[in-house]
Structure 1
Amino acid sequence: MLTCGAAGPEAFEQWRALISDTFVPLTATPTTDRPFRGELRVVTHPAVQLTEVRAQGQHVARTRQLIAGSCEDYLLASIQLGGRGRVEQDGRTAVLTPGAMTFYDSTRPYVLHFDDAFEQLVVQLPRRPLLAAAGIPDDGVHLTAVALEAGGPGSVLAGFFSSLALVHDRDPVGAAQLSAHAPGLLASALRLAAGQGAGPEDAGLERERVLAHLRRHAADPHLDADTVAAACHLSRRALFRLFEGHESWASALRRIRVERAAGLLLTQPRRPVAAIGTACGFAGEAQFHRAFRQVVGCTPAEHRGRGGGTQRR
């Protein structure tokens, strides 16, 4: 976690330097005279860089002068987690509310406006390979500062990348494997931002939408194929076909429940094991123990006793 909390004008100068080092060279001005505080949490994988930003109000700009003096070539996606923001680029303005996302391009000027305190997740990838993967011309001018609204792909990607950042803390190897899906998911979102719609090649985004539903409702012990398919506006057959060649939806649900339980076993050491299994969506203690051993490689009690140091089988 990188923080900036010095007193006086020096605080914001530290912040400006911090965000320029983390993303690309930027100018920035605060929106109030109140003491400034901001935090960055950076998670870097071979395929993608994720940065959680929590800060007070500010206006941030990537100017022509800064572009001329640097060689950064990135596409960035801002996913709003809290507060409101605006992204201006290529003559358009996208308003960001929680769950919405938009792209901006480091090779052309842009401005980010946050009038008050905000929280967002910024996903950063090399620009040219991502545009090529999406089949979009190299300039990409028709996809920047286009809001993908909450409840759609923005929310799906917010859930995926937020979960990826959390998994990184517990299982860096597993998180690195998951991060390999990031370019494909973002390429799907780019096509939507460019007005091309999702095609058959964008099944990864649809699959992630189902996984986001599973994460939200994993505590429901009655979750089954029919209820998941109906909630995601899919037929039962389409749900199963969506996961062909991948971890099945049922295995994904089991894993999500077990990962949630594994965390609770450590953070709530006095809570009964059976109660944790019930809270995480398991219908009975035997089912919980069986699933936990299959995913983690030991019993819940052993996991708790070892402080989470058990290796998966």
Structure 2
Amino acid sequence: MTMSTSVQTPSALEECSVDSLRAWRQVVGNRFVPLQLTGPEPFAGTLRTTVIDGTHISDICASAHRVERRAADIVADDPEHLKLTLQLSGRGVVRQDGHEAVLHEGDVAVYDTCRPYVLDYPDSMRSLVMVFPHRMLGLSAELVPSMTATRLAGDSGIGRVISPFMTHLAENLTQISGAPGVRIVRSALDLVTAMLSDELLRHHSSGESWRQLLSAVQRYIEANLDDPELSASRIAAVHYVSLRHLQYLFSHENQTVSGYIRQQRLERCRMDLLDSSLVDRSILHVAHRWGFSDASHFSRIFRATYGSSPSEYRRGGEAGQRSAAGAERADRRSA
């Protein structure tokens, strides 16, 4: 068995070459999470890897082999990370969550280290593998299982734009370092998020997962209407989705995120203005209660929505309630 390792600057790129499966297990088998590796001999493998902004990026070239992440090897304190694989050459098969993706050159798949998975490489292969915390992918945790081990084609749609970028990333690992490297990696993950979002829009837009996420987001908005700092960007961050992905979600309902927030706040204010038990509360208090920090802005959009100012609406509501109460008393007397 021979093993050679070198570290280069400026990117702190680590390189390691082995000439046996046993040595490959030592290099790869516990590098990030415990993995089971099997395959025929003779075996040869080369690993080039670097870490940028918490993302492990590896260029892997190896003989035929199989990688398994087994349930028995998963423990509660394992890091909650996702893996992305880009097939650079050869063929790969990714299996997780009951899905199977057959990858050819340029294809991408994502899988979760917290659940069992299998990677099969029937022949010599080369892949770019990125390992990163889930929060760095702009996609809700609720949607990830629907997208694991799904082939994201590199030869069609936006994959024709994204796959070449990722391939160049693999070819230029030595050039990725410092602040520019961080930007490049984040750009790569943004592109992958766009790729996954496109796949969801084309194949899962009517699926239960979309309705579940939309419902979860709407519940979060309604529970936080009193916070004047509530914003689309914060909602996206809380739900681990990109801002673009969040807007896509609401577009299915012919709404925008900010429009939905404003609509819900105005409706809560309207109901408070009609509530006779809250008549001692000022218009400003009602506005502030539901997240409107600017009284004049609140008055303008309330009038635009309901056709009268908040004070006029409250007086009208009170008059209507008095009329209704008077009619009820008259009915009792006539009875």
Unaligned runs of 5+ in 1: 6-10, 203-313
Match of 1:142 among 139, 143, 146: 146
Deviation at 1:166, TM superposition (A): 4.2
Report matched runs for 1:162-201 at 5 Å. 162-170=167-175, 172-173=177-178, 174-195=180-201, 201=244
Would you say 1:3 and 2:3 are equivalent positions? no
- Cα deviations across residues 232-277 of structure 1 (Å, max 9, x unaligned)? xxxxxxxxxxxxxxxxxxxxxxxxxxxxxxxxxxxxxxxxxxxxxx
Of the candidates 52, 63, 66, which is equivalent to residue 70 of structure 2?
A: 63
Cα gap change, 1:196 to 1:124, in 2 (>3 Å): farther
User: Cα gap change, 1:44/1:155 in structure 2, threshold over 3 Å: closer, same or farther?
Assistant: farther
Distance 1:138 1:102, change over 3 A: same
CA RMSD of aligned residues (A): 2.6
Q: Separation in 1 of the partners of 2:131 and 2:26?
A: 18
Distance change (3 Å), C-alpha of 1:69 and 1:91 = same
Structure 1 length normalisation: TM-score? 0.55
Equivalent residue pairs, number: 192
What amino acid is the match of 1:62? R
Secondary structure in 1 matching 2:144 = coil
Task: From the CA coordinates, give the structure whose radius of gyration is larger.
Answer: 2
Structure 1, residues 120-158: CA drift from partner, whole Å, max 9, x if none? 11122112442xx22x24462100011011213445333
Q: Secondary structure at the match of 1:180?
A: helix
1:67-126: CA deviation from partner (whole Å, max 9, x where unpaired): 127512111111101010100111111000001111111111110011111111112211
2:36 aligns to what?
27
Return the match for 2:102 from 88, 95, 99.
95
The whole-number CA distance in structure 1 between the counterparts of 2:141 and 2:174 is 37
- Residue 64 of structure 1 deviates from its aligned partner by 0.5
Structure 1 contact 4–14 (Cα < 8 Å) conserved: yes
Q: Is the 8 A contact 1:47 1:179 kept in 2?
A: no
Cα distance change, pair 129–82 in 1 and its aligned pair in 2 (3 A):
closer
* Gapped regions of structure 2 (runs ≥ 5): 1-14, 206-241, 246-335
TM-score when scaled to structure 2? 0.52
Instruction: State the match for 1:157 in structure 2.
Output: 162
Give the secondary structure class of the aligned counterpart of 1:162. Answer: helix
For 2:56 and 2:160, the matched residues in 1 are separated by: 18
Give the drift of 1:181: 1.5
Does residue 124 in structure 1 map to residue 131 in structure 2?
Answer: yes
Q: Which residue type is aligned with residue 34 of structure 2?
A: P
Identity percentage of aligned residues:
28
Q: CA deviation at 1:168?
A: 4.4
**Letter in structure 2 aligned against 1:162:** T
Relative to 1, partners in 2 of residues 1:79 and 1:156: Cα closer, same or farther, differing over 3 Å?
A: farther
Secondary structure, aligned partner of 1:21: coil
